Amino acid sequence: MSRPTDISAVPYQGPPLFAVPDDLVHLDVLNIDKTDERLWVPQGKDVWFRPLLFSTSQGYFVNLLRVRKCGILSRHRHAGPVHATVLRGRWHYLEHDWWAEEGSYAFEPPGDIHTLEVPDGVEEMITLFHVTGAYIYCDPMGKPEAIEDVFSKIDLARAHFEKVGLGADFVKHFIR
């Protein structure tokens, strides 16, 4: 009696689906100290981000945020959901009683307005943020003052990559 052929290890044999974007892989995302320093895009004094994905078609970005100062970072409102995984340090929002500790995950719902503080004693905070929509920076009453979204991130990254010799087009690695 013949046994059915096991096809579990046979790769997909058909044609690629039309218009599927290229996949994207970054090494050493969690091995933070091995990161090429040129990949850290300055965003302000003692604040940098390392882009992982810029989704221009769906309006979100995934990045590592690195902060090497204590105190208030920003007050902002979210236009879309945010997923945060803390890799180093700790931080919190003045409006909430929870703390984002190293190794923890937090979901920030769209519409939440909060003020990010890195407490004294934290030399470095690094968090993996997946941000859909925009940060709307605002005053204490919620009045908008500035925005940040995938397109403003791309602008910063292009200028930085050009400055450090990678070339502005290096940003295309991250765009899907």
75-99 per-residue burial string, b: 16 or more CB within 10 A, e: under 16:
bbbbbbbbebbbbbbbbbbeeeeee
Residues 26-55 that bind Fe ion (CB under 5 A): none
CA distances in angstroms from 92 to 78, 87, 130, listed in the order given: 16, 14, 17
Binding mask 60-79 for Fe ion (x = CB under 5 A): --------------------
Q: Closest separation between CB of residue 79 and Fe ion, Å?
A: 11
Pick the closest to residue 29 from 54, 62, 57, 61 (CA basis): 62
Binding span for Fe ion by CB under 5 A among 4-12, 64-72, 105-113, 123-131: 105-113
Give the residue closest to Fe ion by C-beta.
108
Residue 165 region by backbone torsions, left for phi larger than 0, else alpha for psi between -120 and 50, else beta: left
For Fe ion, how many residues bind (rule: CB under 5 A)? Answer: 1
Rounded Cα gap, residues 128 and 104, in angstroms: 11
CB closer to Fe ion out of 38 and 130: 130
CB closer to Fe ion out of 67 and 171: 67
Specify the DSSP class assigned to residue 37: G
Q: Closest separation between CB of residue 102 and Fe ion, Å?
A: 18
- 69 and 86 Cβ atoms separated by less than 8 Å: no
Binding span for Fe ion by CB under 5 A among 5-13, 65-73, 107-115, 155-163: 107-115
Binding span for Fe ion by CB under 5 A among 4-12, 101-109, 145-153, 166-174: 101-109
CB closer to Fe ion out of 100 and 154: 100
Residues in contact with Fe ion by the rule CB under 5 A: 108
